[in-house]
Structure 1
Amino acid sequence: MPDAFVILFSLLLLAWLSSFFIPAGQFERTTEGRPTVIPGSFELIESRGLNILDIFLSIQQGFISSANLIALVLVMGGAIMVVESTGAINAGIKGLVDKTRGRKYLLTVVVSTAFGVVSAIGVGSNAVIAFIPLGIVLARALKLDAIAGIAIVYLGYFSGSAAAVFDPITLGVAQSIAGLPLFSGAGLRIAVFFVLLGITVLYVCRYIKRIDKDPTQSLMGATPFGDNVATVQDEQLRFTRQHLVILGFFVTCLGVFIYGSLQRGWGINELSAIFMINAIGSAVLARMGANEFVRVFMEGAKGMLYGAFIIGIAKGITVLMMDGMILDTVVNSVFVPLSTLPSMLGAIAVFFFNLFFNFLVPSGSGQAAVVMPILTPLADMLEITRQTAVIAFKLGDGITNIITPTSGVLMSVLAIGGVPWGNWVRFAFPLVCLWTLAGIAFVVIAVMINYGPF
Structure 2
Amino acid sequence: MKFKFPSAYTILFGLIIAVAVATWFVPAGEYSREMNEALGREVPVPGTYQQVEPNPQGFFDVVMAPIAGFFDPVSYEARAIDVALFVLIIGGFLGIVTKTGAIDAGIGQAMRALRGREKWMIPILMALFAAGGTVYGMAEETLAFYTLIIPVMIAARYDAATGVAIIMLGAGVGTLGSTINPFATVIASNAAEVPFTDGIILRFAILFLCWLACVLYVMRYAERVRANPDHSIVADRREANEAHFLKGRAPSGDAEALALTPTRKIILTIFAASFGVMIWGVSMGGWWMAEMSALFLVSAIVVGVIGRMGEEDFTNTFVDGARDLLGVALVIGIARGIVVVMDAGNITDTILFWAENAVSGLSEIGFINTMFGLQAVLSFLVPSSSGLAVLTMPIMAPLGDFAGVSRDLVVTAYQSASGLVNLINPTFAVVMGGLALGRVPYERWLAFMWPLLLILSVIIAVALSVGTLLG
Q: Same fold (TM over 0.5)?
A: yes
Matched, 1:11 2:15: yes
Deviations 1:156-193 (A, max 9, x none): 12221110122122111001111222333322211111
Partner of residue 71, structure 2: 64
Q: 1:35 aligns with which of 42, 45, 51?
A: 42
Partner of residue 360, structure 1: 381
Q: 1:55 aligns with which of 59, 62, 66?
A: 62
Measure how far apart 1:264 and its partner are: 2.5
Q: 2:176 aligns with which of 122, 137, 162?
A: 162
Q: 1:306 aligns with which of 315, 324, 327?
A: 327
**Given the superposition, is the C-alpha separation of residues 230 and 290 from structure 1 closer, same or farther in structure 2, using an over 3 Å criterion?**
farther
Contact 1:12 1:317 in 2 (8 A): yes
Distance 2:298 2:175 in 1: 27
Q: 1:339 aligns with which of 345, 352, 360?
A: 360
Q: 1:200 aligns with which of 210, 214, 221?
A: 214
Matched, 1:115 2:129: yes
Contact 1:228 1:418 in 2 (8 A): no
Partner of residue 25, structure 2: 21
Measure how far apart 1:351 and its partner are: 0.5
Q: 1:231 aligns with which of 247, 252, 256?
A: 247
Measure how far apart 1:228 and its partner are: 5.6
Distance 2:298 2:441 in 1: 30
Measure how far apart 1:288 and its partner are: 1.0
SS at match of 1:223: helix
Distance 1:441 1:293 in 2: 55
Deviation larger for 124-133 or 201-210:
124-133
Measure how far apart 1:342 and its partner are: 1.0
Partner of residue 214, structure 1: 228
Deviations 1:247-286 (A, max 9, x none): 1112222222222222232222222222212211211121
Measure how far apart 1:230 and its partner are: 5.1
Matched, 1:330 2:337: no
Measure how far apart 1:123 and its partner are: 5.2
Measure how far apart 1:43 and its partner are: 0.7
Count of residue correspondences = 450
Partner of residue 253, structure 1: 274
In the alignment, residue 208 of structure 1 is paired with which amino acid?
Answer: A
Contact 1:89 1:137 in 2 (8 A): no
Q: 1:134 aligns with which of 107, 128, 148?
A: 148
Measure how far apart 1:315 and its partner are: 0.9
Deviations 1:200-220 (A, max 9, x none): 111101111221121112111
Q: Alignment RMSD, CA only? A: 1.6
Matched, 1:95 2:99: no
Partner of residue 95, structure 2: 81
**Given the superposition, is the C-alpha separation of residues 108 and 316 from structure 1 closer, same or farther in structure 2, using an over 3 Å criterion?**
same
Q: After superposition, where does 1:263-278 map in structure 2 within 5 Å?
A: 263-278=284-299
Measure how far apart 1:400 and its partner are: 1.1
**Given the superposition, is the C-alpha separation of residues 228 and 25 from structure 1 closer, same or farther in structure 2, using an over 3 Å criterion?**
farther
Matched, 1:44 2:57: no
Measure how far apart 1:197 and its partner are: 1.0
**Given the superposition, is the C-alpha separation of residues 279 and 439 from structure 1 closer, same or farther in structure 2, using an over 3 Å criterion?**
same
Q: 2:313 aligns with which of 278, 292, 302?
A: 292
Measure how far apart 1:221 and its partner are: 2.9
Contact 2:151 2:245 in 1 (8 A): no
Distance 2:244 2:210 in 1: 31
Please list every run of 5 or more consecutive structure 1 residues that lacks an aligned counterpart in the other structure.
Answer: none
**Given the superposition, is the C-alpha separation of residues 318 and 119 from structure 1 closer, same or farther in structure 2, using an over 3 Å criterion?**
same
Contact 1:351 1:393 in 2 (8 A): yes
TM-score normalised by structure 1 residue count: 0.95
SS at match of 1:36: strand
**Given the superposition, is the C-alpha separation of residues 280 and 90 from structure 1 closer, same or farther in structure 2, using an over 3 Å criterion?**
same
SS at match of 1:140: helix
Measure how far apart 1:449 and its partner are: 1.4
TM-score normalised by structure 2 residue count: 0.92
Partner of residue 348, structure 1: 369
SS at match of 1:231: coil
Contact 2:86 2:292 in 1 (8 A): yes
Distance 2:166 2:376 in 1: 23
Distance 2:103 2:197 in 1: 37
Please list every run of 5 or more consecutive structure 2 residues that lacks an aligned counterpart in the other structure.
Answer: 73-79, 250-254
Contact 2:96 2:303 in 1 (8 A): yes
Distance 1:228 1:422 in 2: 21
Deviations 1:325-375 (A, max 9, x none): 011101101211311111110100111111121111110000101001111
In the alignment, residue 62 of structure 1 is paired with which amino acid?
Answer: G
**Given the superposition, is the C-alpha separation of residues 184 and 281 from structure 1 closer, same or farther in structure 2, using an over 3 Å criterion?**
farther
Contact 1:249 1:282 in 2 (8 A): yes
Partner of residue 163, structure 2: 149
Contact 1:144 1:211 in 2 (8 A): yes
In the alignment, residue 92 of structure 1 is paired with which amino acid?
Answer: G
Distance 2:455 2:108 in 1: 33
Distance 1:119 1:334 in 2: 27
Measure how far apart 1:322 and its partner are: 0.6
Contact 1:4 1:422 in 2 (8 A): no
